[in-house]
Amino acid sequence: MSGDIFRLDGKRALVTGAGRGIGLAIARAYAQRGAAVTLCARSEDELQAAVADLRGKGLVAETMVANVTDIEAFAALIEARPAFHVLVNNAGTNRPSPLSEITLEDYDAILGLNLRAAIFVVQAVTQRMVADGVAGSVINMSSQMGHVGAAKRSLYCASKWGLEGFTKAAAIELGAHGIRVNTVCPTFIETPLTKPYFEDSAFRDEVLSKIKLGRLGQVEDIIGAAIYLASDASSLMTGSALMLDGGWSAG
């Protein structure tokens, strides 16, 4: 290795769930470090605004308007493009609810996006990588909830524990092709999606009591790990989980 091993020059990166929050922050950071970034989400207006901002700064970015739960349509979009070097599999959702109250609709929504779609996104992107002979990095956005349990999060935990297992299995299969597969596992991050949860002071206090560093995560806390896993700095890392949980899972 030579030069700045955290640079991403010459790499094509796909970030799903990139319209806002963590996904947008990662896409911006990748573009700033030299990658050609494709921002993928359902929200065309958000994507267009984000890409216009990046291009206005002289960075390379494009949109991919897609619903990743439409497996066939997403695969067709990937097949029509050159292989990516980096995938950030970030699209996800949650519907906190006690076990006694979860519904089939909840199951389909959470597992359908967080696990089913995530698996087939990896399948589509890595098949293209293998076909084009491209080595690279798959980064599955998991959670501390893929390593612990929590009340009102039975489905979310199930989806993230499943994603952790899938990541290890995929790493074994894809290693021979030079494709690394890892997870990033944040604690609670303040985003537009999670902000309403913290308006409940009791919930906020409970969360903070378990985060040993004593604060909620910020979107910026995820960027370093995402850059590391996308770059040559992590060239020997696969099948692993980067815990960004402030010590939650330490006990």
- The upper half-sphere exposure of residue 65, i.e. CA atoms within 13 Å in the direction of its Cβ, equals 8
Q: Which of 30, 107, 156, 197 is catalytic?
A: 156
Q: Is 156 a catalytic residue?
A: yes
Q: Which of 100, 102, 90, 131 is nearest to 225 (CA)?
A: 90
Residues forming beta bridges with residue 181, ordered by sequence position: 138
Amino acid 162 reads G
Q: In terms of DSSP H, where are the helices of the chain?
A: 21-32, 44-56, 71-79, 104-111, 118-132, 154-174, 201-210, 220-230
- Burial (CB < 10 A; 0-12, 13-18, 19+), residue 198, is middle
Distance separating alpha carbons of residues 19 and 249, to the nearest angstrom: 29
Joined tokens for residue 85: 């070097």
> Contact 5/231 with Cβ under 8 angstroms?
yes
> Contact 37/30 with Cβ under 8 angstroms?
yes
- 232 DSSP 8-state letter: G
Residues taking part in catalysis: 156
